[in-house]
Amino acid sequence: MEQERIVYETLMGYRVNDVHWWRTKKAMQACGFQMDKNGFELFINLRKTSPKYYSQFHKIKATLDKKAVDIGEGMKGKDFVNYLEKEGIKPHQSTLSRWFSKAGGYKARAFYSSTVLIPIAAMALIYKSKNEAQLAKVS
């Protein structure tokens, strides 16, 4: 276990306290992430992209695995938005800007790698499930 913590702290760039590490381990297990470099990178990117909703990742994990295959190595911004629209996710422009803020902002012609798009796709799926739940409450 100590090796995993060292890898995590190296990626974070600073030493974390025991409570932070315990919560991180618990959240990663709930999300089903591997406790390795790739799992930690994805977890950190997801947390940076959506500090408020990253803990709901376990609800959309199975769907996201399929989307990660579709994304491949990455795609242009416009292609990604078209892909989201095909999936029934039509966020407002300000929502898109917020999702892409950690990636330097949204640009339709810019190419985004999968490490940037997968956390954003996760946010989009959480956004969709949250909106569907709100619509169900209204009905």
The domain ranges of the chain are: 2-138
Mean pLDDT of 35-39: 88
pLDDT at 15: 94
Between the alpha carbon of residue 102 and those of residues 38, 87, 115, 118, 119, the distances in Å are 19, 23, 12, 13, 11
Task: Label residue 1 by pLDDT band (50, 70, 90).
Answer: low
pLDDT digits (tens, 9 = 90+) for 40-97: 888 887 777 666 666 666 667 667 767 777 778 888 999 999 988 988 888 889 988 8
SS (H, E, C) the chain: CHHHHHHHHHHHCCCCCHHHHHHHHHHHHHHCCCCCHHHHHHHHHHHHHCCCCHHHHHHHHHHHHHHHHHHCCEEEHHHHHHHHHHCCCCCCHHHHHHHCHHHCCCCCCCEEEHHHHHHHHHHHHHHHHHHHHHHHHHC
pLDDT, tens digit (0-9, with 9 covering 90-100), for 13-32:
999 999 999 988 988 888 77
- Quote the pLDDT of residue 87: 84
Q: What is the pTM of this model?
A: 0.63
What is the per-residue pLDDT for 30?
A: 80
Q: What is the mean pLDDT of residues 110-135?
A: 80
pLDDT class for 2, splitting at 50, 70, 90?
A: confident
What is residue 138's predicted lDDT score, i.e. its pLDDT? Answer: 56
